[in-house]
């Protein structure tokens, strides 16, 4: 029997301008290409759909028994520290057997810091 899949929920802030979501959709698409068998969803805190609860429901519907939430934020500001935990607790309450893990914001990861510095220098060098 195959183990239940682990879902990846990429979580971004959201904005009123729909073009703002394009880079985050590209990240989700890249994750799907890298791991085609892993369920991946993108969710937004505000202004855009789907929200975190809706994306989590979709992953549960796909049979996920664990969801890894990765904030696509540059730092763990107030949203990640204060707004996200109650949203995750609501998901846990709705699905008591579901394991939900919140990971650090991507912007705090050394690989992304180095990548952003490299791009900034590349742009400067033209």
The CATH number for 6-125, chosen from 3.90.76.10, 3.40.50.300, 3.40.50.620, 3.40.50.1400, is 3.40.50.1400
pLDDT at 75: 80
Q: Specify the DSSP element, H or E, that contains 110.
A: helix 110-125
CB 98 within 8 A of CB 60: yes
pLDDT at 124: 96
pLDDT at 3: 72
| Positive or negative torsion for Cα 75, 76, 77, 79 | positive
Per-residue pLDDT of the chain (126 residues; tens, 9 = 90+): 457 799 999 999 999 999 999 999 999 999 999 999 999 999 999 999 999 999 999 999 999 999 999 999 998 777 777 889 999 999 999 999 999 999 999 999 999 999 999 999 999 998
pLDDT at 2: 55
- Distance between CA atoms of 45 and 77, rounded to whole angstroms? 13
How would you write 36-59 as a 3-class SS string? Answer: CCCCEEEEECCCCCCCHHHHHHHH
pLDDT at 126: 87
Question: Which strands form 66-71's sheet, in the order they lie side by side?
Answer: 40-44, 6-12, 66-71, 99-102
**Token duo for residue 105:** 């914001």
pTM for the complete prediction? 0.92
């Amino acid at each position: 029997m195959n183990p239940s899949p682990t879902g990846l929920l990429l979580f971004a802030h959201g904005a009123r301008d729909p073009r703002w979501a394009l880079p985050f959709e590209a990240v989700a698409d890249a994750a799907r290409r890298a791991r085609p068998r892993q369920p991946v969803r993108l969710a937004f805190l505000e202004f855009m759909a789907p929200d975190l609860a809706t994306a989590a429901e979709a992953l549960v519907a796909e049979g996920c028994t664990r969801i890894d939430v990765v904030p696509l934020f540059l730092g763990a500001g107030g949203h990640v520290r204060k707004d996200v935990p109650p949203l995750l607790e609501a998901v846990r309450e709705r699905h008591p057997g579901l394991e939900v893990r919140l990971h650090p914001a991507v912007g705090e990861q050394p690989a992304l810091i180095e990548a952003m510095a490299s791009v900034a220098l590349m742009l400067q060098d033209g």
